[in-house]
Amino acid sequence: MRFSLRLTSGSGEGSRLVTTAITADTEHRSSGLPPGEYTLTVRAINSYGQQGEPATTTFRINAPAVPATIELTPGYFQITAVPRLAVYDPTVQFEFWFSETKIADTSQVETSARYLGTGSQWTVQGSRIKPGTDFWFYVRSV
């Protein structure tokens, strides 16, 4: 037994094909899909190549929630930022930027702050991390 998979984005006349696949597996993973509405159609294919009736489901991928809070934990010449969601979601990661000056226009963060990386938390350390000094983390859910 094999399965024919067809994934489209959008709905109605404006829908477009995202991908198709033929697989013998009973599970299939698609990654890197941007937010939006999708329709997945699956058909069984027997050993003679005959296809069964399609099973269709529609689903939506939403952008991840923004952090409800960010816990800052100071240490010895270091500071750790731990974003917390209002509702726990283990699939959400965070992108971190760091700046020694406040960036008033958040659209400038990616060009003005130092990109640190992606993870569930981030620690910045070094001799410039001193008590009584202000630093800014900029955090985005991904």
For position 82, which CATH number holds? 2.60.40
One domain, residues 81 and 119: yes
Residue 129, domain extent:
69-141
Rounded to an integer, the average pLDDT of 27-52 is 94
Which pLDDT tens digit goes with each residue over 61-111? 988 999 999 999 999 999 999 999 999 999 899 999 999 999 999 999 999
One domain, residues 53 and 77: no
Mean pLDDT of the chain: 94
How many domains does the chain contain in total? 2
For position 22, which CATH number holds? 2.60.40.10
One domain, residues 12 and 52: yes
Residue 109 pLDDT: 97
One domain, residues 74 and 57: no
CA distances for 5 relative to 22, 61, 62, 85, 109, angstroms: 6, 18, 22, 34, 40
Q: Can you give the pTM of this predicted structure?
A: 0.64
Q: In the chain, what are the helix, strand and coil shares in percent, each to the nearest 5?
A: 5, 50, 45
